[in-house]
Every structure is written in C-alpha cells, then in structure tokens.
C-alpha cells in the first residue's frame, strides 16, 4: 500500500512541528524518517496513524484519503518506542487483541485467531512465550511481540516510532538486521522514525532527513550519505570537522591552505562558507605528501575498537581536528602521543553560509 503525504502542516503553540511536508512512500518500501529529537518526525508518524490530527494537508493511503479517519479505522500498525504492551494480557492475548475486538461480522473464528497468532509469533520467533506476560520478557522480546501484535490486523502500513531506541546496543543491532530480513519476507509498506543515523543507513530503502519540521533531503542511504544536500544533512549523518573558510573559484581557503572545494560543490564566485570533513576521510601520514598537507601534533589517542581516534593539534586551527584511521594503519605508522604528523584534508565538502545545528 502506498502512502501519500500532501502538504501536511502541524503547529503547536510556540512552534511548528511540521511545515508543509510532502512525501510519497511506495508499496513495499521501508522508509526511515531521520532527524534530531523535536524535529517533527514522530508527529508526522502519529498523523499518519491518526493518533494526531494535521492542521492542514492530507494523508492518502492507497488512493483513499484517510486524513480525518480516527486511528481505529485507519488499519495502520503502530509500534511504540516503549512497546505499550497490555500488561494484563499474556503474549498470545496481546497479539490476538486486534482480532478479538473486531465487530462480530468480520471477526475470525477462534481457531483462525489461534492459527494467525501462532503464525505471527513464529514469525517474530516468540512462539515459545505465548503464555508469558510482558513483565517476564526482555525489552527486545517485548518489542518483537509488539511487532507481531501490530501485524496481526493485516495493516496496510506499518509505522514504527523509534522501535529500538529503548534497547541496549547489542540487541538493537541484532533486532535491526532481523527487522530488515522480516521486511524482505513480508514486504509490508513501513515507515520508521529514528534519530540514529546508523540505524537509518543500515535498515532503510530510503532515508528522509527532517529538520525543524521540513524535509532536508530524501534518497537512498548511499546517495544521502555520499551526496548530502546541505550542511545539516552532512552533519547529521555522522561525525564531522567543521572549518570556516573563504571560498573562491572552486577552492576553499582553510587556515592557510587552499584546497579544492570538492567536485560536488561546483561553486563559482567568492563567499564565506563552511568546509566539512568526516574524521575517517582525513589522511594521516608521517611524511609530507603534498604542499597542501597541514602539519600537526597528536594530542590524544582513543581506542574505539576497529577504528582509532586521533585528536590533532594544528597551528592553523584553534579547535583540534578529529581524525579516525583503521587500527591497521595506526599500527603501521606506530603513532603515539606528541608525534608530528601530516594531515591531508583533500576530501572536504563545502556548503554555503553559516549553519547551525
């Protein structure tokens, strides 16, 4: 089922949660709404689900305008951040709930309900826990039950509101992959909200980056990551170093070095801009490889697992530069605190104007 969101606006006293949002989701797609907290992404999800009403605009599910339908008539599956399972019902009854409350005409028979619930619990690998109560399950297990419960009513679309953010890192990653696989199997059109860029990049077919109630960019994860439309998107998708610099004729003056402003920028004329570079895009070497290399000292080394984080002090910049190199490279270079290194910033991206996160 496709979802069409047209010019949806939602204002609260004092601020605008959603400002004229238009978004299409294709049948079977898994879309991530990514943005910082308070950017309006959850509000949008709740409007689609009918748990909140839009001030203007419309939500069309499969050619049907559902803007003003109450939640219970939308036939939308909703998974909450904190599971929202029914504590007084066991796992089986939680999943069966949506089927049991149907009007008697369309309610499936007892054996049909049993079959459906058992099928779904098998699907989410929770069939062993049918008689358990939510309080006896871990967070990850609860969220899987919540997912089965949402799927029980054969929803047109599945909406997930930060489904993994209450779980610890390991379980989160596991469940993320598992959800991706589940989606590949059942292909229900899904939108999930997250503020975790890694989650969005790994899980989604398409990412919609939202900030302050507006869509900043949308596209495939790779595309958004490699070709961010603006400074906000670039910044939000990962760690960055920011340099303020003067841009002229496709080059940017960063400190006292003039660096190519990157192929995507295509900028002519002179203006003040910001240059961004991700820590892992910074080149580190013991010897000067070009005249554009900055020289600096290693102020601190952080072991981050597979990657090694370096804090580099340079004459040109007040703030230290954050760099990341693979553990291999770190070992080969035999770097230690206080060593002098040469820093290559060739891969900077330039965006116009000042930008505030």
Partner 1 sequence: MPPFNRNKRHILPGFGLSMGYTVFYLSAIVIVPLATIVIGAFRMDPQAFFATVTSPRVLASYRLSISTAVFAALFNALFGFLAAWTLVRYRFPGRRVLDALVDLPFALPTAVAGICFATLYSPVGWIGHYLDKTGIQVINAPSGIVIALIFIGFPFVVRTVQPVLAELEPEIEESAQSLGATRWQTFRRILLPHLFPALLTGVTLSFARAIGEYGSVIFIAGNLPLKTEIAPLMIMSKLDQFDYDGASAVAFVLLLISFSMLLVLNAVQRWQQKSYR
Of residues 36 through 75, those in contact with partner 1 by CB under 8 A are: 49-51, 70-75
Q: What is the Cα gyration radius of the chain?
A: 25
Q: What is the nearest approach in angstroms of partner 1 to the Cβ of residue 164?
A: 16
Nearest CB to partner 1, comparing residues 88 and 170: 88
Tell me the C-alpha distance between 292 and 234, whole Å. Answer: 24
Residues contacting partner 1: total by CB under 8 A: 31
Between CA 207 and CA 321 the distance in angstroms is: 29
Whichever of 151 and 284 has its CB closer to partner 1, that residue is 151
Nearer to partner 1, 80 or 119 (CB): 80
**8 A C-beta contact, residue 236 and residue 199:** no
Q: By CB under 8 A, what part of segment 68-127 binds partner 1?
A: 70-78, 80, 82, 84, 86-88, 90, 97-98, 100-102
* Smallest distance from partner 1 to CB 175, Å: 19
Whole-angstrom distance, CA of residue 240 vs CA of residue 277: 6
SS3 content of the chain, % helix, strand, coil (to 5): 30, 35, 35
> Least distance (Å) from partner 1 to the CB of residue 159?
9
Smallest separation (angstroms) from partner 1 to the CB of 279: 38
- Interaction residues for partner 1, span 216-255 (CB under 8 A): none
Question: Least CB distance from residue 47 to partner 1, whole Å?
Answer: 13
Asked if residues 69 and 130 have their Cβ atoms less than 8 Å apart, the reply is no
**For partner 1, the closer CB: 72 or 170:** 72
Do residues 25 and 64 lie in contact, with contact meaning Cβ atoms separated by under 8 Å? no
What is the C-alpha to C-alpha distance for residues 87 and 133, in angstroms, rounded to an integer?
7
Distance in angstroms (rounded) separating the CA atoms of residues 107 and 88:
22
Q: How far apart are CA 214 and CA 8, in angstroms?
A: 10
Structure tokens at 123: 């699907």
- Site residues for partner 1, window 144-173 (CB under 8 A)? 146, 149-150, 152-153
| Residue placing its CB nearer to partner 1 in the complex, 76 or 259 | 76
Residue nearer to partner 1 on the CB measure, 70 or 353: 70
Q: Residue 94 has which token pair?
A: 């939680």
Which one, 45 or 252, has the nearer CB to partner 1? Answer: 45
In whole angstroms, the minimum distance from the beta carbon of 157 to partner 1 comes to: 11
Q: What is the rounded distance in angstroms from the CA atom of residue 7 to the CA atom of residue 289?
A: 52
Q: Encoding tokens for residue 120?
A: 């779904």
For residue 86, the minimal CB distance to partner 1 (Å) is 6
Q: List residues near partner 1 by CB under 8 A.
A: 49-51, 70-78, 80, 82, 84, 86-88, 90, 97-98, 100-102, 133, 135, 146, 149-150, 152-153
């Amino acid at each position: 089922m496709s979802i069409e969101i047209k010019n949806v606006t939602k204002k609260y006293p004092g601020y605008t949660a959603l400002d004229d949002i238009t978004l299409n989701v294709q049948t079977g797609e898994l879309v991530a709404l990514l943005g910082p907290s308070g950017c309006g992404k959850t509000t949008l999800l709740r409007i689609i689900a009918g748990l909140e009403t839009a001030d203007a605009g419309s939500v069309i599910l499969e050619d049907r305008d559902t803007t003003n339908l109450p939640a219970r008539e939308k036939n939308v599956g909703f998974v909450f951040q904190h599971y929202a399972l029914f504590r007084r019902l066991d796992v089986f009854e939680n999943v069966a709930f949506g089927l049991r409350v149907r009007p008697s005409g369309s309610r499936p028979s007892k054996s049909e309900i049993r079959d459906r619930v058992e099928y779904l619990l098998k699907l989410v690998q929770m069939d062993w826990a049918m008689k358990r109560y939510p309080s006896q399950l871990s967070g990850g297990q609860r969220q899987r039950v919540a997912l089965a419960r949402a799927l029980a009513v054969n929803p047109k679309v599945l909406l997930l509101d930060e489904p993994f953010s209450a779980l610890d890192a390991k379980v989160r990653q596991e469940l993320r992959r598992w959800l991706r696989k589940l989606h590949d199997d059942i292909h229900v059109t899904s939108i999930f909200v997250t503020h975790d860029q890694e989650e969005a990049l790994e899980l989604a077919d398409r990412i919609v980056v939202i900030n302050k109630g507006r869509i900043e960019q949308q596209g495939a994860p790779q595309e958004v990551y490699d070709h961010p439309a603006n400074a906000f998107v670039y910044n939000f998708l990962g760690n960055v170093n920011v340099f303020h610099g003067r841009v002229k004729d496709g080059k940017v003056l960063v400190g006292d070095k003039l660096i190519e402003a990157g192929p995507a920028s295509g900028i002519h004329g002179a203006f003040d801009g910001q240059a961004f570079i991700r820590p892992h895009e910074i080149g580190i070497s013991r010897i000067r490889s070009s005249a554009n290399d900055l020289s600096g000292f290693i102020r601190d080394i952080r072991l981050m697992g597979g990657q090694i984080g370096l804090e580099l002090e340079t004459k040109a910049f007040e703030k230290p530069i954050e760099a990341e190199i693979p553990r291999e490279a770190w070992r080969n270079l035999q770097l230690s605190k206080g060593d002098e290194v040469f820093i290559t910033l060739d891969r900077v991206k330039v965006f116009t104007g000042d930008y505030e996160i």
